[in-house]
Structure 1
């Protein structure tokens, strides 16, 4: 059932905007490649990712961008100053194109979030 829900969400995104669909797929590929224990599920209108049951990020597609969300992002080091948001805990990286994945150092932030989620 979770795989079907993910497939349905992805198809909806593809129907609305092929470029955003490809961006979401690129992010999924990177995230799922971080560790064999990573799982994904549709929740809150996006795809949430967890490792060994511990959530560490989510991908949400909006009308004009894709947002990579970190539930505990306020605690992540922000060396490249790309984390947005001013809440107590959450931060996100707004992605407008595939080039933003490299330009905004997404892999590094994902690795930090994954590492932080595994700490007791």
Structure 2
């Protein structure tokens, strides 16, 4: 998925390309995974990242200094037999991704498929 249909999301992607070019490929890969599994997903800029929703918000991607955080709104409900998800809040769980290898090693697709 190259470009976003949402103008503000596209501007954020452009800003990331300019200020964090080392994270752009990873960000775009994560968006590809989201839209592969949930093609009707809508995206918007919120909390400084890209929020994803279908009938309601289900997660988002946030570029940090040393990683990208993929947040899942109801991650507490996900099957996570290898205890990969991080976070101890009531509902939200996240993955910290530092490299393209983390996409497979942390099984991002497995968790994105669990989104309802």
TM-score (norm 2): 0.90
Distance in 2 between residues matched to 1:74 and 1:39, nearest whole Å: 22
Instruction: Give the paired residue count.
Output: 112
Distance in 2 between residues matched to 1:36 and 1:11, nearest whole Å: 22
TM-score (norm 1): 0.87
Runs of 5+ in structure 1 lacking a partner? none
Partner of 2:28: 25
1:36: Cα distance to partner?
Answer: 2.7
The runs of at least 4 consecutive aligned structure 1 residues that moved more than 3 Å come to none
CA RMSD, 1 decimal: 1.2
Please give the secondary structure, in 1, of the residue aligned with 2:37: coil
Distance in 2 between residues matched to 1:36 and 1:84, nearest whole Å: 26
Runs of 5+ in structure 2 lacking a partner? none
Distance in 2 between residues matched to 1:82 and 1:61, nearest whole Å: 19
